[in-house]
Amino acid sequence: MQQLQVTELTTFVQAHATQQPVLLDVREPWELQTARLEVPGATLLHIPMRALPARLQELNASQPILALCHHGGRSAQCVAFLLQQGFAHAYNVAGGIDAWSREVDPSVPRY
């Protein structure tokens, strides 16, 4: 499984700008309201993990998909699912939004 560290996220998005990266947030709605991550150049798409199979058609397999959750566990499961579905450019954001808050932007609330 391909993983990105939170410290690599912005650089990765910039380097793949022509492919229009998607930041796939698989957390629950309440989590998104608590802490939100925006990376310039990436399109934010919120699909809770449980809804991903039913909403798979909203994703484009040719775009880099950067899956994000709280700590990286749920997003890793989603990336494994996406890889099985033929999404070769799916990446797990290791450590999730918690790592982002600790290592990149402390203004993002931790929960």
Tell me, what CATH number does 49's domain have? Answer: 3.40.250.10
pLDDT tens-digit readout, 66-84: 999 999 999 999 999 999 9
| Contact predicate 60/82, CB 8 Å | no
Structure-token pair, residue 68: 């994000």
Q: Provide the pLDDT for residue 38.
A: 87
**Which residue do the tokens 């070769």 mark?**
88
Residue tagged 């954001």 (tokens): 93
Whether 79 is in a domain gets the answer: yes
**Could you list the residue range(s) of the whole structural domain that residue 80 is in?**
2-103
Number of domains in the chain: 1
The set of residues, in sequence order, having a beta carbon less than 8 Å from that of 4 and lying 6+ positions away, is 12, 66, 91, 92, 93, 94
Q: How confident is the model at residue 98 (pLDDT cuts 50, 70, 90)?
A: very high
Distance from C-alpha of 25 to C-alpha of 28, rounded to nearest angstrom = 9
Q: Looking at the annotation, which residues are catalytic?
A: 69
The reply to whether 108 falls in a domain is: no
**Number of other CB atoms surrounding residue 95 within 10 Å:** 22
Q: Does a structural domain hold residue 28?
A: yes
pLDDT exceeds cutoff 90 at 55: yes
Is residue 109 situated within a structural domain?
no
